[in-house]
Amino acid sequence: MFTIILSFILSLPGWTLSTPMADSNARGEIIKKTKYLINYNEDHEVANWVEYTLEKDFLQNCTSRTNNFRADPQVSTGSSTPQDYKKSGYDRGHLVPAGDMKRNKQVMSETFFMSNMTPQPARFNQVTWNKLEGLTRAWASKYEKIWIITGPILIDNLPTIGQGNRVSIPKEYFKVILRKEGAGYKGIGFLIPTTVPHDNLERYSLSIKEIEDYAQINFFRFLNAREEAAEENLKLADWDFRTSFEYLPCLASETLQQK
């Protein structure tokens, strides 16, 4: 299974396991998982961003949530821990959603490393952010393949939680999405405050370039100068906000591979 996934990732344009799709000046350590990359910020004890590719075929309902929250041993400086969130009043909010990784137990389990978590208010995590994650899966199903980069807006002097670490509590989150269409690309971004004053996700949509400027992160570095128009131009009509999502049934071969 790992060989199949590795071959898939290496087939992406301009992206290998050692070449992230995003870059920023913020301090960060690149952590490689089977299906995604993390840029972990030790100063905040959360990720600057995570990135991965989601294809329709990967959206198979093969495994349930593992819920095995744990520190990430790959973070050289030590990640946050479940204890940091205890009695904090905040959810352990996924950046790479567990719901995107239901194809096998290994990749599902890897979403529960604390390096993939940030402190999120329950309503934001369970309602608005969850709604955006579901829409993203629907787009992966409709458009066959999308690239996703998501993370918190990290600034100085954020409030923190933590009994062993000082884990920053972000006030805003971004998600940028790119898809191939014909000879070019289509892109869209979202910037959502955790106060979630609106239910309509379209109200939070921005161009990828606008979020790049705000977050000070260079997304989708594999795009050439001509293709970067997809980051600068946002047309909501290019994205179906009314599409729905249903998991694909788990194929027998996938069930065998996860054992």
Domain ranges of the chain: 2-257
CATH of 2-257, one of 3.40.570.10, 2.40.50.140, 3.40.109.10, 3.90.1530.10: 3.40.570.10
Q: What is the pLDDT of residue 182?
A: 92
The model's confidence at residue 252, banded by pLDDT at 50, 70 and 90, is low
Q: What percent of the chain has pLDDT over 90?
A: 82
Q: pLDDT by residue (tens digit) across 178-214?
A: 999 999 999 999 999 999 877 899 999 999 999 999 9
Residue 57 has pLDDT above 60, yes or no: yes
Residue 149 has pLDDT above 80, yes or no: yes
Select the more confidently predicted residue: 59 or 225.
Answer: 59
Q: Stretch 115-134: mean pLDDT, rounded?
A: 96
User: Of the ranges 12-16, 144-148, 215-219, which one carries the lowest mean pLDDT score?
Assistant: 12-16
Q: Which own/partner contact pairs does 203-211 have at CB distance under 8 Å and 24+ positions apart?
A: 205/234, 205/236, 206/234, 207/231, 207/232, 207/233, 207/234, 208/176, 208/178, 208/232, 208/234, 211/174, 211/176
Q: Stretch 130-135: mean pLDDT, rounded?
A: 97
